[in-house]
């Protein structure tokens, strides 16, 4: 009851205080965000959901083809909430009963949505958030680690997009990096339980989860995919996450189709889920194929210039890319070749620069370049070790704040000092080199 009253109070203040014009966010002084006057982008022809076709698995190489996918039979989150939150109040007899009612000061919304009250009336597709690359992979002095802190601390610090690589082992999904022998951090279900506990305690937050399907190429004797979206259903349901998941009105969403954070929060459908390979829109309509909704710059990059070109999916044209969200992959990797082995590991030596606000190879520099190239900032900034960067802790969140046109004034990150974090990350970086040298000597 207390939470219900809180939500109703917030609804009233937000509905009365905010107008219907979407906030514009800026970067480096240039307007780069969609506003209500821009109009909604058109759906790419390949995504035309007026033509019904059943697609249950990803094309082998993750390409966009002329195939189309149908929209699931769903209702929008809440027409009533949308009418209150996203439109001008309708005049009634009570509105004209007293002059005081029309001249009284309007309340201001003070409740942040994803840490900023400005976001409450912005569309989900009109906000830049930081994504923890391989969020579950936290293991001290392990080369396969990508983050220093666990998911609860990540969310507390401001991470709102979680990505991880899942492996099917004896019928159970585990979060493992490349191999469960190299780094296994437990089941997907246990990880999601921790996420759900955080969501329960933070009712005004919207998060995104991108499931990486490592076994997407595995086939049974009949040639059918062994690991698809259906394998993620039980972990999601058993963890308690399913009631929080937002199911869009169609599988391929345009930028203008997404609801505002306020609408998602008021409906308590505060989680958007994507899968990179082997989606099944018919069986699991709430687990969206990432590449119908989000494209990515080159992934697993080793180029510190971080180009803003289209990396995935293959075959996506520029016109269509401008009509959906996009992710900037900014996790610098290094190739290590010793003793006939070739390993790709996070390049922790340059983390301060990679996650920095300014300078060559910095996240800030890439965000500016992508904004110039695509006329809007990236929606997701994917990074390793988000807590390291320059000039201060939380540099990646400063970059996101600048892209969003808001002021970053939070404290970051975790409980360890940056010096300790950098030291541990570099030890993890050197671990495979040491291991290979030892094996060669022996």
Does pLDDT of 105 surpass 80?
A: no
pLDDT in tens, 355-408: 999 999 999 999 999 999 999 999 999 999 999 999 998 899 999 999 999 999
Count of other CB atoms within 10 angstroms of residue 234: 14
Does pLDDT of 12 surpass 70?
A: no
Least confident of 62-71, 102-111, 153-162: 62-71
pLDDT in tens, 277-324: 999 999 999 999 999 999 999 988 888 899 999 999 999 999 999 999
Residue bearing tokens 């001008």: 88
Identify the pLDDT of residue 224. Answer: 85
Q: How confident is the model at residue 438 (pLDDT cuts 50, 70, 90)?
A: very low
Identify the pLDDT of residue 7. Answer: 56
Helix 395-404, helix 363-374: angle, nearest 10: 20
Residue 86 three-state SS: coil
Higher pLDDT, 296 or 104: 296
Does pLDDT of 24 surpass 50?
A: no
Taking the C-alpha atoms of residue 51 and residue 393, their distance in angstroms, rounded to an integer, is 49
Higher pLDDT, 88 or 13: 13
Angle at 318 between CA 316 and CA 320, to 5 degrees: 65
Ordered by where they begin, the domains of the chain are: 2-441 (3.20.20.190)
Give Cβ neighbours of residue 348 (< 8 Å, ≥ 6 apart).
384, 385, 422, 425, 426, 428, 429
Task: With beta carbons less than 8 A apart as the criterion, state whether 58 and 215 touch.
Answer: no
Angle at 123 between CA 122 and CA 127, to 5 degrees: 75
Identify the pLDDT of residue 342. Answer: 65
Does pLDDT of 147 surpass 90?
A: yes
Identify the pLDDT of residue 415. Answer: 72
Cα-trace Rg, the chain: 22
Q: How confident is the model at residue 241 (pLDDT cuts 50, 70, 90)?
A: very high
Q: How confident is the model at residue 146 (pLDDT cuts 50, 70, 90)?
A: very high
Higher pLDDT, 325 or 180: 325
Does pLDDT of 345 surpass 60?
A: yes
Catalytic positions are 133, 177
What does DSSP assign to residue 250? S
Identify the pLDDT of residue 334. Answer: 85
Identify the pLDDT of residue 178. Answer: 83
Taking the C-alpha atoms of residue 343 and residue 414, their distance in angstroms, rounded to an integer, is 29
Does pLDDT of 176 surpass 80?
A: yes
Higher pLDDT, 211 or 216: 211
Does pLDDT of 164 surpass 80?
A: yes
Q: What rounded mean pLDDT belongs to the chain?
A: 78
Report the percent of the chain where pLDDT is more than 90.
Answer: 56
Does pLDDT of 2 surpass 80?
A: no
Report the percent of the chain where pLDDT is more than 70.
Answer: 68
Identify the pLDDT of residue 8. Answer: 52
């Amino acid at each position: 009851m207390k939470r219900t009253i809180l939500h109703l109070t917030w609804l009233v203040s937000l509905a009365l205080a905010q107008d219907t014009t979407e906030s514009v966010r800026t970067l480096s002084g240039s307007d780069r965000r969609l506003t209500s006057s821009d109009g909604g982008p058109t759906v790419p022809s390949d995504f035309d959901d007026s033509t019904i076709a059943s697609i249950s698995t990803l094309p082998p190489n993750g390409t966009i083809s002329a195939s189309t996918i149908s929209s699931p039979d769903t209702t929008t989150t809440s027409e009533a909430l949308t009418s209150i939150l996203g439109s001008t109040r309708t005049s009634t007899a009570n509105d004209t009963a007293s002059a005081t009612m029309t001249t009284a000061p309007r309340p201001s919304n003070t409740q942040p949505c994803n840490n900023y009250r400005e976001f409450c009336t912005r569309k989900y597709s009109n906000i830049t958030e930081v994504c923890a690359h391989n969020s579950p992979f936290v293991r001290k002095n392990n080369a396969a680690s990508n983050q220093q802190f666990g998911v609860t601390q990540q969310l507390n610090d401001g991470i709102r997009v979680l990505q991880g690589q899942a492996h099917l082992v004896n019928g159970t999904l585990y979060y493992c990096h490349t191999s469960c022998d190299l780094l296994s951090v437990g089941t997907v279900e246990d990880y999601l339980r921790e996420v759900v506990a955080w969501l329960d305690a933070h009712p005004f937050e919207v998060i995104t989860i991108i499931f990486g399907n490592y076994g997407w190429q595995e086939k049974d004797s009949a040639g059918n995919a062994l690991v698809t979206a259906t394998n993620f259903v039980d972990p999601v349901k058993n963890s308690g996450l399913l009631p929080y998941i937002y199911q869009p009105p169609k599988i391929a969403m345009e930028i203008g189709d997404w609801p505002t954070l306020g609408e998602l929060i008021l409906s308590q459908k505060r989680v958007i889920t994507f899968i990179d390979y082997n989606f099944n829109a018919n069986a699991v309509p709430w687990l969206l194929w990432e590449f119908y909704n989000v494209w990515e710059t080159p992934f697993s990059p080793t180029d510190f210039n971080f180009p803003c070109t289209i990396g995935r999916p293959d075959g996506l044209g520029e016109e269509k890319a401008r009509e959906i969200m996009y992710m900037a992959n900014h996790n610098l990797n290094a190739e290590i070749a010793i003793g006939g082995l070739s390993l790709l590991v996070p390049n922790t030596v340059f983390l301060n620069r990679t996650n920095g606000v300014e300078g060559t190879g910095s996240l800030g520099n890439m965000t500016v370049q992508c904004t110039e190239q695509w006329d809007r900032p990236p929606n997701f900034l994917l990074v390793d070790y988000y807590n390291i960067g320059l000039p201060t802790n939380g540099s990646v969140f400063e970059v996101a704040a600048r892209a969003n046109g808001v002021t970053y004034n939070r404290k970051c990150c975790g409980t360890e000092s940056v010096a300790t974090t950098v030291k541990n990350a570099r030890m993890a970086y050197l671990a495979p080199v040491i291991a290979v040298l030892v094996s060669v000597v022996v």
